[in-house]
Chain A
Amino acid sequence: MIVVMRLEDITLEYPVPRQYRKENILPSGVRNISLEVKQGEVLGIIGRNGSGKSTLLKIMAGVFPPDSGTIAARGSVSLLAGVGVGFHKELTGRENAYLYGALMGRTTEQIDELIEEIQSFAELNHHFDRPIRTYSSGMKSRLGISVATAFKPDLLLIDEVLGVGDVSFRQKSENRVKDLIAESGSVVIVSHSMGLLKSICTRMLLIENGSVVEMGIPTDVMNTYSQQMRVNE
């Protein structure tokens, strides 16, 4: 099976804030992570808040460089993190969509082809040509999901962005992501929604304090995670 991403012994530690340096605190981040993402695979990452899931996705997206280890990718990689991140409040939804597309490496012509689809999926109608500062948080979320999922990469990284909007939009977003998974073939998804992960993941990874605890069949990894949570309670 073709490998679309390979991480070898990746470590990234955030600096410990000055006031805690004398307390011998373990720096947060990720440590000695090695894994491969294969074409056609949906890898789910679970773990408690602050365990290093989002940091790992940022390293995979090439946003953060690791302190040590190597990372190699085949084709384009996109990170879908934080709906509305990067939007400029003075610009219209349309202008922000073009800017987002350019950040994802798309040309104006490529964005031109997708702009109608972005507008109709977001259900913003005439608001699409109004400044973002006039949007409600739900409208911003709809635009964010619509724009971010319109550009289809070879490897899609999703970080907790599917729980936004009303029930019908949430369902619509989940379906959109499932379509994306079917099209792009390879997805790495971080979520606390066990139902969603169980339905789409082919493999799962459990992280604790920045290190891999278990990687394998989703049901097994979820059981380990549930046990871990019970012990901590």
Chain B
Amino acid sequence: MAGTGGEKPLLFLWGKRSLHRLPLIVFTDLFRSRHLLRLLVKRDLNARYRRAYLGYAWAMLEPLLLAVVYTFIFTILVGSSDPLYSVKIILGIIGWSTFARSLTTSTKSLNSSINLFQFARVPKTVFATSGTLTNAVLALISLTCLIPFYFIHELPITVNLFMLPVWLMILSFTGWAIGLLLAPIACKIPDILNLINFLVRAGFFLSPVMWTYDMFNSRFGSGWHAIVAHMNPTVVPITGMRDAVIGESSAIPGYGYGMCFCIGLLAYIFGAMVFERKAHRAVVNV
């Protein structure tokens, strides 16, 4: 505190940090800033629905209303015979939104939080992470819209249900990690933000939101199409979410799980390295 400067050592503000330690440093910084992180998440949650009459109910209503629209299109207009199609669509929407929002908020974090880190020296990963955590909390709230379907379709309540939030967290983590990788680049090349907006829209159709893993399997089999499909980091987690709720087991091959975890892990390792090395200088461009 004030006036006690003489007791403290003179420390370099921008000391060198070895590249291979950066992924660990990101987590250490986040743990040290947990108080700020908690306040930022609270701020985002409070601010998001403060003026809405229905408040947090919107987190639940949004996927529910979208599911009504898509179910109408696919069951009535296209003629899908699957009675659980609406449940699958709701899970697809929640899973995809969680990934897409994590990716978008962490990619935009350096641009959108410039006001907050212009006057204080705080780890910039905090701003990329707070948006992701806010979206994860909203996604968990939105899962409550599944409760009526448990009664309507007499869905089984099994141990697998515990995997539902786990898959959701994997989607959130992967989106956040890819966002870390892209955020410093987006400061220098703003076109990245437009590209992300496009990919989020295109990804909605390329991910198992309106289609299911079984539909894909029966149409394309397990050839090279399947390998390409598993490169999409949302395929396995969204299918996992559906399996956890419906109590089925999709025939996801072992390499599918492997690719899903490797993509998430590699995105985090490279994302943390690029973010920690480039983000501080990148904000000068904003």
- Let me know if A95 is at the binding interface, CB within 8 A: yes
- Let me know if A47 is at the binding interface, CB within 8 A: no
Given known contacts A14-B284, A64-B283, A78 and B3 CB-to-CB distance under 8 angstroms: no
Whether B11 and A73, one on each chain, are in contact in the complex, defined by CB atoms closer than 8 angstroms, is: yes
Give the Cβ gap from A13 to chain B, nearest Cβ, in Å: 9
- Let me know if B255 is at the binding interface, CB within 8 A: no
- Let me know if B118 is at the binding interface, CB within 8 A: yes
Give the Cβ gap from A153 to chain B, nearest Cβ, in Å: 7
Could you tell me which residues of chain A, from 4 to 54, have a CB within 8 Å of some CB in chain B?
Answer: 4, 6, 12, 14-15, 39
Whether A108 and B43, one on each chain, are in contact in the complex, defined by CB atoms closer than 8 angstroms, is: no
Binds B, one of A80-88, A168-176, A203-211, A225-233: A80-88
Chain A residues, Cβ within 8 Å of B46: 90-91, 95
Chain B residues, Cβ within 8 Å of A155: 5
Chain A residues, Cβ within 8 Å of B283: 64
Given known contacts A6-B10, A91-B46, A98-B39, A184 and B2 CB-to-CB distance under 8 angstroms: yes
Given known contacts A6-B10, A64-B283, A91-B46, A77 and B121 CB-to-CB distance under 8 angstroms: yes
Question: B116 — nearest CB in chain A belongs to which residue?
Answer: A86
Binds B, one of A99-107, A134-142, A189-197: A99-107
Question: B48 — nearest CB in chain A belongs to which residue?
Answer: A90
Could you tell me which residues of chain B, from 1 to 49, have a CB within 8 Å of some CB in chain A?
Answer: 1-6, 8-14, 35-36, 39-40, 43, 46-47
Give the Cβ gap from B79 to chain A, nearest Cβ, in Å: 45
Give the Cβ gap from A24 to chain B, nearest Cβ, in Å: 21
Given known contacts A86-B115, A88-B43, A95-B43, A152 and B8 CB-to-CB distance under 8 angstroms: no
Question: B49 — nearest CB in chain A belongs to which residue?
Answer: A90
- Let me know if A167 is at the binding interface, CB within 8 A: no
**A37, B1: Cα distance in complex, Å:** 17
Interface string of A155-178 (1 = CB under 8 A from B): 100000000000000000000000
Whether B47 and A63, one on each chain, are in contact in the complex, defined by CB atoms closer than 8 angstroms, is: no
- Let me know if A70 is at the binding interface, CB within 8 A: yes
Could you tell me which residues of chain B, from 249 to 286, have a CB within 8 Å of some CB in chain A?
Answer: 280-281, 283-285
**A6, B14: Cα distance in complex, Å:** 13
Chain A residues, Cβ within 8 Å of B119: 61, 63, 79-82, 85-86, 103
Interface size on B, residues (CB 8 A): 35
Given known contacts A88-B43, A91-B43, A99-B43, A72 and B115 CB-to-CB distance under 8 angstroms: no
Whether B43 and A39, one on each chain, are in contact in the complex, defined by CB atoms closer than 8 angstroms, is: no
Whether A185 and B35, one on each chain, are in contact in the complex, defined by CB atoms closer than 8 angstroms, is: no
Question: A148 — nearest CB in chain B belongs to which residue?
Answer: B119
**Between A and B, how many residue pairs show CB distances below 8 Å?**
118
Chain B residues, Cβ within 8 Å of A6: 10
Interface size on A, residues (CB 8 A): 52
Chain B residues, Cβ within 8 Å of A102: 35-36, 39-40
- Let me know if A129 is at the binding interface, CB within 8 A: no
Whether A63 and B35, one on each chain, are in contact in the complex, defined by CB atoms closer than 8 angstroms, is: no
Whether B5 and A72, one on each chain, are in contact in the complex, defined by CB atoms closer than 8 angstroms, is: no
Whether B5 and A71, one on each chain, are in contact in the complex, defined by CB atoms closer than 8 angstroms, is: no
Whether B118 and A2, one on each chain, are in contact in the complex, defined by CB atoms closer than 8 angstroms, is: no
Whether B9 and A74, one on each chain, are in contact in the complex, defined by CB atoms closer than 8 angstroms, is: yes
Given known contacts A65-B14, A90-B47, A107-B35, A75 and B118 CB-to-CB distance under 8 angstroms: no
**Would you give 25 A-B contacts (Cβ < 8 Å), ordered by A?**
A2-B6, A14-B284, A39-B5, A62-B13, A64-B283, A65-B13, A65-B280, A71-B12, A72-B12, A78-B120, A79-B119, A79-B120, A80-B119, A81-B119, A85-B115, A85-B119, A86-B116, A88-B43, A90-B50, A102-B40, A103-B116, A152-B2, A154-B2, A184-B2, A185-B5
List the 3 shortest-distance A-B pairs measured between CB atoms, nearest first: A62-B121, A90-B47, A184-B2
Known: A70-B14, A154-B4. 17 other contacts (CB 8 A): A3-B10, A6-B10, A61-B121, A63-B119, A64-B280, A65-B14, A73-B11, A74-B9, A77-B121, A85-B118, A88-B47, A90-B50, A90-B51, A152-B1, A153-B2, A154-B5, A184-B3
